[in-house]
A and B are shown apart, each in its own frame.
Chain A
């Protein structure tokens, strides 16, 4: 036995020295330029035309050979929209067929990070410019063709949408839909608590939450007054915190000085402390609880009086909780909102880029934009839909919170820096831990301040590592 051990240790020593010998081989393989690293994917790819036709593309953008376009998105509820659009497009271009691939957003983002650099992503990718900016840096995504760019920048889009879709002073994707937030509130629960007005101030949201939550005999929350985002993977938890922070006039990262491209964490100021304190106080007091359903599921099961979410919940309620229809309403957040735009991109390696862009032009048409909100509930990025949108709002008054904003309402866009996702995701992890530690933190602003400072240090450090720190 001892001999075996001896030889085993020897084996390891030999193994590691061999490993070092092999490193040379490994490093040469790895220092090949990314272009050749594309390998098989690159062979079938036509070289991306540097400047796609600036004139509105003719019908021959898709040629006559059979083409299959692969559309990738992170929201399964939008699949039917792409499929319907694909069928309509196929009528114009009979040689083009479609496949649609989507998974939940976190899984989708993970897929993109491996698929885009390896040139195996779809022909059309739907995601935010900010998330994709790292791939833009790598040269993996095409620029928006000039004709689409000028159409988009001329009219019909909110300035914040244009800002959100600009990276390195250029546009890369065609804005498809936006992820605005509104307050959903259950009118029955409001009524039972004697509340008649929609919550139009931050204070009203807090007061209404305190009036509407319910606990059972043993002190467990059975109905939350405000379903806060307390857990979940990715950056969602931090995004919700950010939206609420905006109601207090502050943001996650502040550009300092304005326009410099340098950023500093702002969430550890007094407003951030106050907001975090609201979360943990709510948890301590049972206004919300980690143990009950959350978010849309809670609202649909009538276990919460209010929560903030995008517009896709409206059609989901119609199918999953039809008895709730007519017993809830939406209202815009009091002061402002973040604006995220999901746009359509074409990878550099996409084999049928001209046809992909042609499909994207098609998706910009009013009929497709209206169909988008009708089927999925997501809001079209175009605002110049005129009578069509008015008619839609008239038929679907619950969308009012998304389409009617109070005066002075501000839209904040994601900082155009590639590391923002890392900063937001890491903050989300901290927030989840912090909320879970509510017993220790509730009513203790000093501890909260120290904690937020610690997290802000990390955020600032990431900014420094990327040369974007402006403190």
Chain B
């Protein structure tokens, strides 16, 4: 290895052919990838330290100013609070419901019937967000929405789903749980079906009831899958945008309250107020949250496999 030329000569021609192949096919892909993913991500970090107006080059370096200002920004705090509440609620409800459904569909109601039911729950996952949000907007309508009519049948008062600040958040959560549930369900189902039947049979011989089996066999063995579902749901919930944008799209004063969420606030700061640097700092905060969630997932996954 003292003579590099000699070292290169020792590489057999076949290997050179492979290197050439790799260079030819990988270069365009990696160039695209660098330009479309790495550069903008790096830029987002860079811009966050500048007072940066849309299109104009960086005005001036402001260090951590944007980050500090954000902490005192009413809109950012509201967005952070709403998004967190939304993410936690959506995750808890959709994962718990999915666990319950998966338990039944994996062990009790199986076969073609179970498969058909599974598809019913899965359908909302696939449908695009804008049209179904329009549908939900009518369902939530205070006056003539079918949800309030249905609640009326069981003696519950009409609820201002779209105009009251708390209820508007609840409405977005309902819609998002509806959209997410089927996805969580099928992932958990795969996990449950992978649990060997013998485990349950052995437990049944020992006299364990259905609940006890679920509690002591299914849940522990399902832990990595459940964690995966929890993290995926939380991350996608932190990126919520389309449904709040459409639910609150302004209709000259008709009720439709905006639930301010992080991505909306980034959007507004960047593309309405032109504060791109500020918006980038906000995006970095969002990234840190997601990074933390991802690290938690990996730590727990490691823990559970040891």
Q: Do any CB atoms of chain A lie under 8 A from CB atoms of chain B in the complex?
A: yes
Q: Which residues of A contact B (CB under 8 A)?
A: 1-2, 5, 8-9, 15, 18-20, 22-23, 25-27, 29-34, 37, 104-107, 109-110, 113-114, 117-118, 134, 138, 218, 220, 227, 229-234, 236, 290-297, 421-422, 425-426, 429-430, 432-433, 436, 458
Residue from B46, B143, B160, B252 in contact with A296 in the complex, judged by beta carbons closer than 8 Å:
B252
Q: Does B201 sit at the interface, judged by CB under 8 A?
A: no
For the complex formed, measure the closest distance between the CB of B280 and the CB atoms of chain A, giving whole angstroms. 12
Contact A233-B298, Cβ < 8 Å, known A30-B57, A114-B271, A432-B257: no
B302, A5: Cβ atoms closer than 8 Å? yes
A418: nearest chain-B partner, CB-CB: B274
Q: Does B301 sit at the interface, judged by CB under 8 A?
A: yes
B248, A233: Cβ atoms closer than 8 Å? yes
B271, A113: Cβ atoms closer than 8 Å? yes
A292, B57: Cβ atoms closer than 8 Å? no
Residue from A30, A107, A113, A295 in contact with B254 in the complex, judged by beta carbons closer than 8 Å:
A295
Interface pairs (22), CB distance under 8 Å: A1-B301, A1-B306, A5-B302, A19-B41, A19-B45, A23-B43, A26-B43, A26-B46, A30-B43, A32-B57, A104-B251, A138-B56, A220-B158, A231-B256, A231-B257, A233-B248, A236-B252, A291-B142, A291-B164, A292-B143, A293-B143, A422-B272
Contact A2-B56, Cβ < 8 Å, known A23-B46, A27-B46: no
A313: nearest chain-B partner, CB-CB: B252
Q: Does B75 sit at the interface, judged by CB under 8 A?
A: yes
Q: Does B114 sit at the interface, judged by CB under 8 A?
A: no
Q: How long is the Cα–Cα vector from A220 to B46 in the complex, in angstroms? A: 53
Q: Does B115 sit at the interface, judged by CB under 8 A?
A: no
Interface string of B268-306 (1 = CB under 8 A from A): 100111100000000000000000000000110110011
**Complex interface: chain A residues within 8 A of B57 (CB):** 30-34
**Complex interface: chain B residues within 8 A of A425 (CB):** 268, 272-273
The B contact surface, by secondary structure, is: loop
Q: Does B260 sit at the interface, judged by CB under 8 A?
A: yes
Q: How long is the Cα–Cα vector from A106 to B252 in the complex, in angstroms? A: 10
B163, A8: Cβ atoms closer than 8 Å? no
Q: How long is the Cα–Cα vector from A425 to B208 in the complex, in angstroms? A: 61
Contact A294-B271, Cβ < 8 Å, known A5-B301, A34-B56: no
For the complex formed, measure the closest distance between the CB of A117 and the CB atoms of chain B, giving whole angstroms. 4
Q: How long is the Cα–Cα vector from A9 to B75 in the complex, in angstroms? A: 33
A240: nearest chain-B partner, CB-CB: B253
The A contact surface, by secondary structure, is: helix
For the complex formed, measure the closest distance between the CB of A26 and the CB atoms of chain B, giving whole angstroms. 4
Max chain A Cβ within 10 angstroms of own Cβ: one of B55, B157, B268, B271: B55
Contact A290-B163, Cβ < 8 Å, known A233-B250, A236-B253: yes
**Complex interface: chain B residues within 8 A of A229 (CB):** 253
For the complex formed, measure the closest distance between the CB of B260 and the CB atoms of chain A, giving whole angstroms. 7
Give the residues from 220 to 252 in chain B that come closer than 8 angstroms, CB to CB, to chain A: 248-252
Q: Does B109 sit at the interface, judged by CB under 8 A?
A: no
Contact A422-B273, Cβ < 8 Å, known A233-B249, A436-B165: yes
Residue from B34, B46, B274, B298 in contact with A134 in the complex, judged by beta carbons closer than 8 Å:
B274
Q: How long is the Cα–Cα vector from A5 to B224 in the complex, in angstroms? A: 14
Max chain B Cβ within 10 angstroms of own Cβ: one of A15, A233, A429: A233
**Complex interface: chain B residues within 8 A of A291 (CB):** 142, 158, 160, 163-164, 255
**Complex interface: chain B residues within 8 A of A5 (CB):** 298-299, 301-302
Q: How large is the interface on B (under 10, 10 to 19, 20 to 34, 35 or more residues)?
A: 35 or more
Q: How many A-B residue pairs have CB under 8 A?
A: 144
A231, B38: Cβ atoms closer than 8 Å? no
For the complex formed, measure the closest distance between the CB of A241 and the CB atoms of chain B, giving whole angstroms. 13
Residue from A18, A32, A234 in contact with B250 in the complex, judged by beta carbons closer than 8 Å:
A234
B272, A293: Cβ atoms closer than 8 Å? no
Q: How long is the Cα–Cα vector from A33 to B58 in the complex, in angstroms? A: 11
**Complex interface: chain A residues within 8 A of B56 (CB):** 34, 138
B254, A294: Cβ atoms closer than 8 Å? yes
A429, B260: Cβ atoms closer than 8 Å? yes
**Complex interface: chain A residues within 8 A of B38 (CB):** 15, 18-19, 22
Q: Does B74 sit at the interface, judged by CB under 8 A?
A: yes
B42: nearest chain-A partner, CB-CB: A19
Q: How long is the Cα–Cα vector from A432 to B162 in the complex, in angstroms? A: 13
A37, B143: Cβ atoms closer than 8 Å? no
Closest 10 A/B residue pairs (Cβ)? A295-B253, A19-B42, A1-B305, A117-B55, A233-B250, A291-B160, A26-B43, A290-B163, A31-B57, A22-B42
Q: How long is the Cα–Cα vector from A297 to B248 in the complex, in angstroms? A: 16
B253, A294: Cβ atoms closer than 8 Å? yes
Q: How long is the Cα–Cα vector from A220 to B142 in the complex, in angstroms? A: 12
Give the residues from 13 to 60 in chain B that come closer than 8 angstroms, CB to CB, to chain A: 34, 38-43, 45-46, 54-58
B253, A232: Cβ atoms closer than 8 Å? yes
B250, A290: Cβ atoms closer than 8 Å? no
For the complex formed, measure the closest distance between the CB of A132 and the CB atoms of chain B, giving whole angstroms. 12
Residue from B40, B46, B142, B273 in contact with A292 in the complex, judged by beta carbons closer than 8 Å:
B142
For the complex formed, measure the closest distance between the CB of B128 and the CB atoms of chain A, giving whole angstroms. 18
For the complex formed, measure the closest distance between the CB of A105 and the CB atoms of chain B, giving whole angstroms. 7
Q: How long is the Cα–Cα vector from A30 to B55 in the complex, in angstroms? A: 8
Q: How long is the Cα–Cα vector from A34 to B157 in the complex, in angstroms? A: 57
A291: nearest chain-B partner, CB-CB: B160
B164, A290: Cβ atoms closer than 8 Å? yes
**Complex interface: chain A residues within 8 A of B54 (CB):** 113-114, 117
Q: Does B103 sit at the interface, judged by CB under 8 A?
A: no
Q: How long is the Cα–Cα vector from A109 to B16 in the complex, in angstroms? A: 56
Q: How long is the Cα–Cα vector from A458 to B273 in the complex, in angstroms? A: 15
For the complex formed, measure the closest distance between the CB of A184 and the CB atoms of chain B, giving whole angstroms. 13
A106, B250: Cβ atoms closer than 8 Å? yes
For the complex formed, measure the closest distance between the CB of A252 and the CB atoms of chain B, giving whole angstroms. 17
A228: nearest chain-B partner, CB-CB: B253
For the complex formed, measure the closest distance between the CB of B75 and the CB atoms of chain A, giving whole angstroms. 6
A436, B274: Cβ atoms closer than 8 Å? no
**Complex interface: chain A residues within 8 A of B250 (CB):** 104-106, 232-234, 236
Contact A25-B39, Cβ < 8 Å, known A110-B272, A292-B143: yes
**Complex interface: chain A residues within 8 A of B305 (CB):** 1-2
Contact A37-B55, Cβ < 8 Å, known A8-B298, A429-B260: yes
Q: How long is the Cα–Cα vector from A383 to B134 in the complex, in angstroms? A: 42
For the complex formed, measure the closest distance between the CB of A112 and the CB atoms of chain B, giving whole angstroms. 10
Q: How long is the Cα–Cα vector from A251 to B43 in the complex, in angstroms? A: 41
Q: How long is the Cα–Cα vector from A274 to B274 in the complex, in angstroms? A: 34
Give the residues from 85 to 105 in chain B that come closer than 8 angstroms, CB to CB, to chain A: none
B39, A26: Cβ atoms closer than 8 Å? yes
Max chain B Cβ within 10 angstroms of own Cβ: one of A26, A421, A433: A26
Q: How long is the Cα–Cα vector from A127 to B190 in the complex, in angstroms? A: 55
